[in-house]
Structure 1
Amino acid sequence: MTVADRPAPLMELGMAMAMLQRRDGNPVFSPWRRRLARSLPRLAHPILQLVSPLGAGPMFMDPPSDDVEEGMDQILSTPRPQARAELRRMCAIDRLITPWVRGLADRDRDAWQVLKLAVHASHASVIAEAWPRIQAGFHAETAWRSRILAQQGLHAALTGLAPSIRWRGMTLEAPFPRDLDLTLHGHGIILQPALFWADHLLTAPHPDGRLLLIYPAVTPLPLRDASTPADSLAALVGSTRAQALRLLVRQHTTTDLARELAVSPAAASMQAKILREAGLIVSQRDGKAMWHWCTPLGLDLLAHGRA
């Protein structure tokens, strides 16, 4: 099991559009829901025909890309059979078969152009301005989860994702709106926190075959201060080293680190050396590659640096 290393903007958009339609009186999201209901542009409204308040949506709508334009390209290139199957699944849950939805299923060009405009409009209205806060909340959450996983193990990391989760032998049981059995077949799990979701666990297949387990972050976005605070971690260790430490929640080679930081391998090696000497990461050579990852102290610093 691994923890996702970055938030997915289109997945967060889907979660936000689901929460917008909830009528369960959630005290955390209620004021946010009222504000968004007033400000959401009309161009974005078609998205509501596709996303259920149960958190479900067509799989093609939330590709696990951290780049919106790349994700939009993946949405628009959805093959007709996949689009039809996913839209049929959503209509079987609780979405209406509207003329526009039929147009999407038939790969009508105008219908898909409406979808493109709706995704861009809703992203600009809901996600774009909040993106620094989403990133900050995501990194704080994943650092904390990684710490639990490292210290307490798999069972504790999974049962702490949401209330009423329990192990029955080798089976993890969690509340869900309908009966659903999932088997991993040895592919593993990626934990993906959602800043715009506050209910049951959600699942989706990852392109590499693993199961994406989407869970509500402990601190959802409406509880994060609207003005993004100064990056205290960057003030402490420097912005490049802070970014490197966040990346090293997952193992990276020096080459990987250099690419992610947009610096030379020599500069990445120097940053890793400083973090290692501070006890924040460990490094291990494997052939020609040097691998780096956070120590418990580094994870603690990440978890508390965003508090």
Structure 2
Amino acid sequence: MLRVHFSAEDLLDIRFAAEPMPLVELCLALAAWQRTDRPGVFARWRRQVARELPADARPLLELLRPDGDNPGFVEPPVRDLDAALDAVREGGRRLPYEDLVRAASRSRNGGDPGGWLRALWEQDREAWALLERSLRSAHAALIAPRWCEIRQSFRADVAWRTRMLAGHGIKATLAGTHPDARWSGTTFEVPGPPHFETGLGGHGLTLIPSAFWTGRPLLGRLPDGSHLLIYPALTPLPLVAPAGADGSLDALLGRTRAAVLQQLTDRRTTTELARDLGISLPSVSEHTRTLRAAGLITTEREGKAVLHAATGLGVDLLRSGG
């Protein structure tokens, strides 16, 4: 069972991550792929992974567990891929041997981390080079081509739960991260292995929805000592419409305007919208003006930046429009 003890200070210091993390998503994808209780919606995705996962990425399967209890050093919560790979190497310098024993316990080695795993612990240069190649190769095959959809899933979930937080409070919002989640006083509980119990110690909690994970929420730590909770996003990856796909929302708003609204499940500047959608700044301004007049987004100034975000009506329209 997962048991997380909150203090009053912790309950006042809960936030959402700004973006998905590439290596966190990669490790959860590979862990989830190994599970035998995958929902039917993932059946086609599993077949794709079986075809697309390169041979030089398969050593990762010796590290990543189907239950998501992965060695923390291999999935740092860092938003940039190169910086995340640097963090993997830095974390590896302090690699606990127990992490490798736990990873090997589900492998053919029967709990004895020999060969490549032991070489990692012994700081063998070739073993660490193999790990970086494996991570880069798996990311290029499984995450990079789907990054836009992963971000869509992430942002839609954050937008929805932010509204739930405003309407029902933090306890209901956290309880909604898993069907079996519950509260016992100020302790958040979710049944199921592996057992993990901790207090947040007044450091707060960061919430991260995952497009791949469907198991029990997972708890990790950030470099500042605070915790993060990774949970299944409302819309898993196979149900996210590819960017630019035709649909009722495109027909209603126009493809570019619908794409602008989809981007605004998280606050974005005019410049960020222009960059991510590949359109001009004047075009972004025109589309945001129209969406704002329809009550679908809000616009506010922070210093020199102009920030746009979807309203509750805008989020409801995105959900109903697929």
Question: What is the TM-score when the length of structure 2 is the normalising length?
Answer: 0.77
Could you tell me which residue of structure 2 aligns to residue 138 of structure 1?
154
CA distance in 1, matches of 2:50, 2:263: 38
CA distance in 1, matches of 2:58, 2:127: 13
**C-alpha displacement at 1:18, in angstroms?**
0.6
**C-alpha displacement at 1:55, in angstroms?**
0.9
- Secondary structure, aligned partner of 2:209: strand
Cα pair 2:213 2:231 within 8 Å, conserved: yes
1:84 aligns with one of 69, 85, 96: 96
What code does the residue aligned with 1:115 have?
L
CA distance in 2, matches of 1:15, 1:91: 14
- Secondary structure, aligned partner of 2:154: helix
Could you tell me which residue of structure 2 aligns to residue 148 of structure 1?
164
What code does the residue aligned with 1:245 have?
L
- Secondary structure, aligned partner of 1:130: helix
The structure-2 alpha-carbon separation of the partners of 1:51 and 1:238, relative to structure 1 and needing over 3 Å to count, comes to: same
**C-alpha displacement at 1:70, in angstroms?**
2.0
**C-alpha displacement at 1:52, in angstroms?**
0.3
- Secondary structure, aligned partner of 1:190: strand
Alignment of 1:1-307 (within 5 A): 1-24=14-37, 26-81=39-94, 83-85=95-97, 87-88=99-100, 90-91=102-103, 94=106, 96=111, 97-225=113-241, 229=245, 232=249, 235=254, 238=257, 242=261, 245-248=264-267, 257=269, 260=272, 279-280=295-296, 295-301=311-317, 303-304=319-320, 307=322
What code does the residue aligned with 2:74 have?
M
Cα pair 1:176 1:200 within 8 Å, conserved: yes
What code does the residue aligned with 1:153 have?
G
**C-alpha displacement at 1:37, in angstroms?**
1.9
The structure-2 alpha-carbon separation of the partners of 1:237 and 1:84, relative to structure 1 and needing over 3 Å to count, comes to: same
Cα pair 1:143 1:303 within 8 Å, conserved: no
Please list the CA deviations of residues 225-262 of structure 1 after superposition, one character each: whole Å capped at 9, or x if unmatched. 467525948847848954773332xxx8xxxx467558
Cα pair 1:194 1:217 within 8 Å, conserved: yes
What code does the residue aligned with 1:246 have?
T
**C-alpha displacement at 1:201, in angstroms?**
0.8
- Secondary structure, aligned partner of 1:155: helix
CA distance in 1, matches of 2:74, 2:255: 39
- Secondary structure, aligned partner of 1:181: strand
Question: What is the TM-score when the length of structure 1 is the normalising length?
Answer: 0.80
**C-alpha displacement at 1:289, in angstroms?**
9.7
CA distance in 1, matches of 2:302, 2:272: 20
Please list the CA deviations of residues 179-202 of structure 1 after superposition, one character each: whole Å capped at 9, or x if unmatched. 321212222222211111111111
CA distance in 2, matches of 1:241, 1:219: 19
CA distance in 2, matches of 1:244, 1:53: 32
